Amino acid sequence: MKKKSYLLLITIISALGGLLFGYDTGVINGAQFYFSKYFELTDALKGWVVGSAILGCLVGAVVSGKLSILIGRKRSLIISAILFTISAYGSGLPSLFPESVTVLVIFRIIGGIGIGIASMNAPMYIAEIAPSSIRGKMVTYYQLAIVIGFFSVFLVTYFIGNDLTQQENIAFGWRYMFWSELIPSLVFLILLFFIPKSPRWLCLKEKTDEALLVLKKIQGEQSAKQDIERIKTSTLNDSYSSEKVNYFSKKILKIIIIGSLLSVLQQFTGINAVLYYGADIFEKALGYGQEDVLKQQILLAFINVVFTLIAMFTVDKFGRKPLIYIGCIGMITGFLVLGVTLQQQIVGILSLIGILIFIASFSLSMGPIVWVLLSEMFPNKIRSVAMSVAVAAQWAANYIVSQSFPVIVGSDINNSTTWNGSLPYFIFIFFILLIIVGTYKFIPETKGKSLEKLEQIW
């Protein structure tokens, strides 16, 4: 029982990187209305401020692979926590160039780099410490932390905004919203000093005795000895020797491409179009008033948390692929309901139900399962670099979706009598269908298999 509690504790601490991921990307949703008025931003400049953090995420993901190899998963997470803290404070600075939006953008990019580093290292670290029988559940804590971050930041920005007048929010309320992130980022930074280094990274650095001690604390002496032998065999395997790795070889490139495409398709479901532009969808497309919009946003975040919890407790029982299939069918159903009601101009409660079905289905499947699969599918020797590429591809896709969605929404063809605003959702359905086909043909079931056993499958 003591070992399970220790594993749970270090999993929760490392998963806080996900909470800050969700919090940092969500805080912009609540603050942007007010800082846009403070800086008197044009629509193009507002898009740049909102999207700048995503570019930072891309940079962070690109450098995270080499960083993780060089200094390890734990120290990489510490660096991300420091960047989160700097970004949270700097984004709300009251006196440094208050007339210039450039300062805000710089600190948003710094936070984005922290997210990019954490989004690769946190799920990988959890996968490398967790026993294979519960690895899926443990990695899902990361996605749960992301959605809790989204949920909590909606509540925080709501209470900050409600306690101030609109003029006060424009003058300084949005700064408090950014500063609220200082609390979780500092907690994350402090707690990271109490978790062990990844045993698989220690083995890669030929610190086998230290790795064995970590595994003993987590799973007991006998199981730890068995695991350490498997890891040693894997890391000494010539196919993935650090001196001989050719990332463009057919064998390795295939794994990286499959992981990257899976990562990209997660974004092409349209999830962040709904999360980033949820307020606009509710207010403009669905006709809700401003007072109702925040309630709908909180409802989305709550549904996100509930169905991520369901995924957490079923991923090791049902497997990864069945949850993807179930979730994809649900996402298609949700967007069909939303798309048809928009196209037929019968917008109302049915449209909201469609969005909720989509969010619930994503939270059950592509949200958590992609992180689980990415943390599992790459061999020990190439995991850092390969996952860095896949996560960078995901952030690039995120940027494409977040920038193209408002363009498509405002296009003449989308607002024609043929589509009536529904076109983006039918585009997303096409990509969700690709996920079903791709999962069936290219993704092996990873449930219950050790990371070293999975190498042999590929």
pLDDT (0 to 100) of residue 286: 64
My answer on whether 9 and 80 are in the same domain is yes
Closest CA to 442 of 420, 457, 432, 430: 457
Is 204 within a domain? no
pLDDT (0 to 100) of residue 288: 61
Burial (0-12, 13-18, 19+ Cβ within 10 Å), 343: middle
Is 378 within a domain? yes
Whole-angstrom Cα distance, residue 70 to residue 205?
A: 9
- Provide the terminal-to-terminal Cα distance of the chain, rounded to the nearest Å: 35
If one counts the domains in the chain, the total is 2
My answer on whether 258 and 404 are in the same domain is yes
Closest CA to 19 of 84, 94, 90, 67: 84
Whole-angstrom Cα distance, residue 395 to residue 78?
A: 21
Is 409 within a domain? yes
CA dist 283 → 40, 304, 359 (Å) = 22, 20, 18
Domain at 13, CATH number: 1.20.1250.20
My answer on whether 267 and 190 are in the same domain is no
Is 224 within a domain? no
Closest CA to 270 of 406, 386, 379, 140: 406
Whole-angstrom Cα distance, residue 117 to residue 431?
A: 27
My answer on whether 164 and 295 are in the same domain is no
Q: Which domain holds residue 169?
A: 1-195
Whole-angstrom Cα distance, residue 17 to residue 330?
A: 28
My answer on whether 56 and 161 are in the same domain is yes
My answer on whether 186 and 318 are in the same domain is no
pLDDT (0 to 100) of residue 237: 57
My answer on whether 330 and 456 are in the same domain is yes
pTM: 0.86
Is 218 within a domain? no
pLDDT (0 to 100) of residue 7: 93
Q: How many residues does the chain have?
A: 458
Is 235 within a domain? no
Give yes or no for a contact between 368 and 144, defined as CB atoms under 8 angstroms apart: yes
My answer on whether 39 and 99 are in the same domain is yes
My answer on whether 177 and 270 are in the same domain is no
CA atoms within 13 A on the CB side of 322: 8
Three-state secondary structure string covering the chain: CHHHHHHHHHHHHHHHHHHHHHHHHHHHHHHHHHHHHHCCCCHHHHHHHHHHHHHHHHHHHHHHHHHHHHHCHHHHHHHHHHHHHHHHHHCCCCCCCCCCCHHHHHHHHHHHHHHHHHHHHHHHHHHHHCCHHHHHHHHHHHHHHHHHHHHHHHHHHHHHHHCCCHHHHHHHHHHHHHHCCHHHHHHHHHHHCCCCCCHHHHHHCCCHHHHHHHHHHHHCHHHHHHHHHHHHHHHCCHHHCCCCCCCCCHHHHHHHHHHHHHHHHHHCCCHHHHHHCHHHHHHHHCCCCHHHHHHHHHHHHHHHHHHHHHHHCCHHHHCHHHHHHHHHHHHHHHHHHHHHHHHCCCCCHHHHHHHHHHHHHHHHCHHHHHHHHHHHHCCHHHHHHHHHHHHHHHHHHHHHHHHHHHHHHCCCCCCCCCCCCCHHHHHHHHHHHHHHHHHHHHCCCCCCCCHHHHHHHC
Is 201 within a domain? no
- Which two structure tokens, joined as six digits, stand for 237? 């395997």
Q: Using 50 as the pLDDT threshold, list the residues of the chain that sit under it.
A: 238-242
Is 225 within a domain? no
My answer on whether 168 and 68 are in the same domain is yes
My answer on whether 429 and 297 are in the same domain is yes
My answer on whether 321 and 453 are in the same domain is yes
